[in-house]
Structure 1
Amino acid sequence: MDDLYIKKVLNGDTEGFRYFITNYKDLAFTVAISVVKDEFWAEEVVQESFIKVFKNLKSFKRRSSFKTWFYRIVINEAFQRIRNEKKEHFYTDNFFDQEPTEENFAGLSAEEQIVLVQESLKRLSPKESLVLRLFYLEEQDTKTVSEETGWSESNIRVILHRGRKNMLAIVQQLMQNEFKTT
C-alpha cells in the first residue's frame, strides 16, 4: 500500500501524503518520545520528520521498506534535536546481575506498573529507551531494530542488555522512593 501512495505523491497528488501521516504518526511519536523524552519535542521531531520525508520522497531508493526508511529519519531527527538543544539526559550506569522479573512488580496494580515502566523509560538513555521500546513494545526483532536505527545487531543486543539492567535499577529505585507501601 505504501508504494501506491508513494507513486501518487510523486505524481503530484500531495493529498495522498495524508496516508503516511495517518498510518505512521503514532509510531513516529513513540520512537521520538523514546529518544527526546519530552512530548513537545517529540511532536516537533515527528513534524520535522514528515516534512523531510515529503521533501525527499523522490530520493527513497526502496532498498528497505518505507517504514524502515521513515523510522530512520525519525530517529536521526530525534538525536539531532538532542544535539541541537544540548539537553542533558540523566540515567543510571549501574549494572546488576539480576534480570527483571514479575517479582519486581509484586503488589502493584496494572496501572501502577504502566506508570513505573513509562517513568523508567524516560530516565533511560535515549538509545536504551528507543531500543527497548522497539524490541519489547513494538515487538521487533534485533535485525529490524538494526535496520531502523542503522546500528549493528551486536550493538542492539548490547544496548538491550544494558537497557534491561539499567531499567531494573531505575524500577527498584522508583519502587523504593515512590511506590513504598507502609
Structure 2
Amino acid sequence: MKNELDDIVIEKVLQGNTSAYEYIVHRYQDKVYNLAFRLLGNQQDAEEVAQDSFVKAYRNLSKFHYNASFGTWIYRITYNTALTFLKKRALETSSLATIEEYQHPLSEDLPLSTLDKKERKRFLEEALSCLKEESRLLITLFYLQEKSVEEVAEITGMTKANVKVRIHRIRKQLQGHLMIILKGEEV
C-alpha cells in the first residue's frame, strides 16, 4: 500500500534534507530486519543486510519510482542484498550447510492442532529452516508478512503466476517437512 508521507519525505531527502531519511529508516527498520532474518536465519547477518539495504536505498533514492510503494521497493532491495549475501557466503564456505536431524519424543500420530501455540511455532520454524532460502523468503513474504501475490511478484521479480505456483509447491514441501519433524524422523 502506497504511503504519501513516504513520498513527501523522499522528496525532502532528494532536495538535500538528508536527516529526513531517519524517518524512512525508523518506519521500515523492523520490517527490513525481519525479512533479512527470515531469509538468513542469523541475527548478525540480518542486521548487516538490513543496514546495507538502507544504504543502497539511500544511494539510489533518485531511481525510486513513485508509482510503487517505498515499502515494496526497500523489500526488493533487501531481497536482492540477502541473496547476494547468501551467494557470497556459499562461495566462502564452499559447501552448503547440512540440515540438522530433528528428533522429538512425540507419538507418530500427534496432529499439529493438539500442540500449544509455542510448540506449533517451534515446529513450524524447524520446518521452515528445511526450505531453501528463496522458498523460505516467498513463504515469509506471503504468509508471515502478509504481502499480496502482486507485491511478492514485484519484490522478487517473478510473474504473479510463478509466485502462485511456487507458493503452492513450497506449502507442500513445508507440510512434508512438518510431518517428518512431528514423527521424529530425520530430515
Find out whether 1:116 has 2:123 as its counterpart: yes
Q: Tell whether the 8 Å contact from 2:7 to 2:66 is kept in structure 1 after alignment.
A: no
- How far apart are residue 90 of structure 1 and its match? 5.2
Give the direction of change, closer, same or farther, for the CA distance of 1:47–1:59 in structure 2 (3 Å limit): same
Secondary structure of residue in 2 paired with 1:46: helix
Give TM-score scaled by structure 2 length. Answer: 0.82
Match of 2:139 in 1: 132
Q: Tell whether the 8 Å contact from 2:142 to 2:152 is kept in structure 1 after alignment.
A: yes
Find out whether 1:142 has 2:146 as its counterpart: no
Secondary structure of residue in 2 paired with 1:21: helix
- How far apart are residue 89 of structure 1 and its match? 5.6
Partners of 2:57 and 2:22 in 1: CA distance = 12
Q: Deviations over 1:75-109 (max 9, x none)?
A: 00000001111162657xxxxxxxxxxx8413211
Identity of aligned residues (%): 32
Find out whether 1:51 has 2:55 as its counterpart: yes
Gaps of 5+ in 2: 100-109
Secondary structure of residue in 2 paired with 1:85: helix
Q: CA RMSD in A?
A: 1.9
Q: Tell whether the 8 Å contact from 1:34 to 1:121 is kept in structure 2 after alignment.
A: no
Letter paired with 1:106: S
Find out whether 1:107 has 2:111 as its counterpart: no
Find out whether 1:163 has 2:170 as its counterpart: yes
Match of 1:27 in 2: 31
Match of 1:10 in 2: 14
- How far apart are residue 34 of structure 1 and its match? 2.5
Q: Tell whether the 8 Å contact from 1:89 to 1:125 is kept in structure 2 after alignment.
A: no
Letter paired with 1:35: L
Find out whether 1:64 has 2:64 as its counterpart: no
- How far apart are residue 159 of structure 1 and its match? 1.5
Give the direction of change, closer, same or farther, for the CA distance of 1:111–1:25 in structure 2 (3 Å limit): same
Q: Tell whether the 8 Å contact from 1:89 to 1:123 is kept in structure 2 after alignment.
A: no
- How far apart are residue 48 of structure 1 and its match? 0.3
- How far apart are residue 148 of structure 1 and its match? 1.3
Give the direction of change, closer, same or farther, for the CA distance of 1:19–1:112 in structure 2 (3 Å limit): same
Q: Tell whether the 8 Å contact from 1:90 to 1:125 is kept in structure 2 after alignment.
A: no
Letter paired with 1:149: T
